[in-house]
């Protein structure tokens, strides 16, 4: 079979999942009616798996800004910024992001995935070291591989293990990039950034924090986990995405370091990828202003998150280690998880299905993401659907209570 052998393995795995007549890979939204409602596979559903944390995808101001840009500048840039030049909107968004974080400068990438690829591969090279949390996102793993640097993982959210591994590097620590996330996408747990920052700075390494799931969610101004932890001025690079709280697509990096501008000339994903379209940039700029001007969205998001977490915990579900806009519900095996995911759809609720190897520790879970746009009635509907399933499903005792991550091996870089 040659090259197709590996695909045959994937095909068999998919066939095993769909043998029961359930095909999670073919779910289609025929219509989106709001940030929280849609029609999927012909059935009205409550959307509780979209990462639309501030509910800005249907914001009238963001839509209007995108429409104006489409009319004034067309549908796309048709090339990279290096080859075709930057639009004024690209520069303005970078200035606004740098100002928002209080940083020296910013770079905008076409996606959040490319932001990690582009930054890591430009900063690290063969002979260098990337020292990453075991539960880091796939884009971080892939960026490390693209760089050619040595990849070392430390135990998830374990600053002491990080410090130990930094000490073992000896003189190589000067050529080391430490990479963590502010909020981890599978279980919603936060990085202990005070301790991680202290260990990294004491050793003399550089620190990058991926705030994809923390932008607009944490911190007094919505700047993420680094702001919440009080270490924003001690992080060397912050990367993030526009596809969560800002309701669009794209990625960025901000930094207090002047060397960030050099990355434009060394980052292949930046140099060789078409730049974001004018409509995307304009809508993102409008969403950033909404994030700044409407802190009540963040408060509403956390009210929904706390209520959902408490409700599921009280039903006896095993959850991630702390309340947050991402709530991971552990289940004993892939078969049970797939069945409950499909049953939730029948109850009119869409959440994310996470099967091995994507979940931490190689387990299976249902992943809920909350939004500021969810009403109290919609949270009631979500909890009621889980209550129905809890009564119908005979879960082992080990899955009858709250559970932390407890993972050493991590998710293998598969988390979405």
Active site residues: 185, 213, 244
SS3 326: strand
H helix intervals, 78-137 = 81-84, 88-101, 112-123
Structural tokens at position 217: 């969610």
Element (H, E) at 40: strand 37-40
Give the integer Cα–Cα distance in Å for 125 and 4.
31
Give the integer Cα–Cα distance in Å for 136 and 88.
34
- Provide the terminal-to-terminal Cα distance of the chain, rounded to the nearest Å: 30
SS3 107: strand
Structural tokens at position 145: 């591989």
Q: Which residues of 329-362 are buried (b: 16+ CB within 10 A; e: fewer)?
A: bbbeebebbbbbbbbbbebbbbbbbbbbbbbbbe
Give the integer Cα–Cα distance in Å for 154 and 103.
28
Q: Where are the beta strands (DSSP E) in 148-284?
A: 150-154, 176-181, 206-210, 237-241, 251-255
């Amino acid at each position: 079979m040659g090259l197709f052998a590996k695909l045959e393995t994937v095909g068999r795995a998919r066939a095993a999942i769909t043998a029961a007549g359930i095909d999670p890979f073919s779910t289609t939204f025929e219509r989106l009616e709001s940030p929280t409602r849609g029609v999927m596979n012909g059935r009205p559903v409550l959307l509780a798996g979209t990462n639309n944390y501030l509910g800005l995808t249907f914001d009238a101001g963001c839509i209007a800004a995108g429409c104006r840009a489409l009319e004034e500048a067309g549908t796309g840039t048709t090339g990279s910024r290096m080859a075709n030049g930057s639009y004024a909107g690209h520069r303005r968004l970078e200035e606004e992001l740098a100002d928002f974080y209080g940083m020296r400068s910013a770079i905008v990438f076409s996606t959040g995935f490319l932001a990690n690829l582009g930054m890591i591969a430009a900063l690290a090279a063969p002979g260098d070291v990337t020292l990453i949390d075991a539960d880091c996102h796939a884009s971080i793993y892939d960026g490390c591989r693209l760089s050619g640097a040595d990849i070392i993982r430390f135990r998830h959210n374990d600053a002491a293990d990080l410090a130990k591994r930094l000490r073992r590097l000896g003189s190589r620590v000067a050529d080391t990039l430490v990479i963590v996330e502010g909020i981890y996408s599978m279980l919603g747990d936060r990085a202990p950034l005070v301790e991680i920052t202290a260990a990294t700075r004491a050793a003399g390494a550089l620190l990058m924090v991926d705030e994809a799931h923390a932008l607009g969610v944490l911190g007094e101004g919505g700047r993420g986990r680094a702001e919440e932890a009080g270490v924003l001025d001690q992080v060397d690079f912050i990367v993030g995405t526009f596809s969560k709280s800002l309701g669009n697509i794209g990625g960025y990096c901000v930094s207090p370091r002047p060397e960030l501008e050099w990355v434009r000339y060394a980052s292949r994903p930046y140099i060789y990828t078409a730049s974001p379209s004018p409509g995307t940039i304009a809508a993102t700029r409008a969403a950033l202003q909404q994030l700044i001007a409407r802190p009540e969205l963040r408060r509403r998001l956390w009210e929904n998150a706390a209520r959902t977490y408490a409700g599921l915990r009280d039903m006896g579900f095993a959850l991630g280690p702390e309340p947050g806009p991402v709530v991971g519900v552990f289940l004993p095996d892939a078969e049970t998880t797939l069945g409950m995911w499909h049953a939730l759809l029948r109850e009119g609720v869409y959440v994310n299905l996470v099967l091995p190897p994507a979940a931490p520790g190689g387990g299976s879970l249902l992943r809920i993401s909350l939004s500021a746009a969810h009403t109290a009635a919609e949270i009631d509907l979500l909890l009621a659907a889980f209550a129905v399933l809890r009564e119908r499903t005979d879960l082992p005792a080990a899955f009858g209570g709250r559970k932390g991550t407890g993972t050493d091996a991590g998710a293998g870089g598969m988390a979405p």
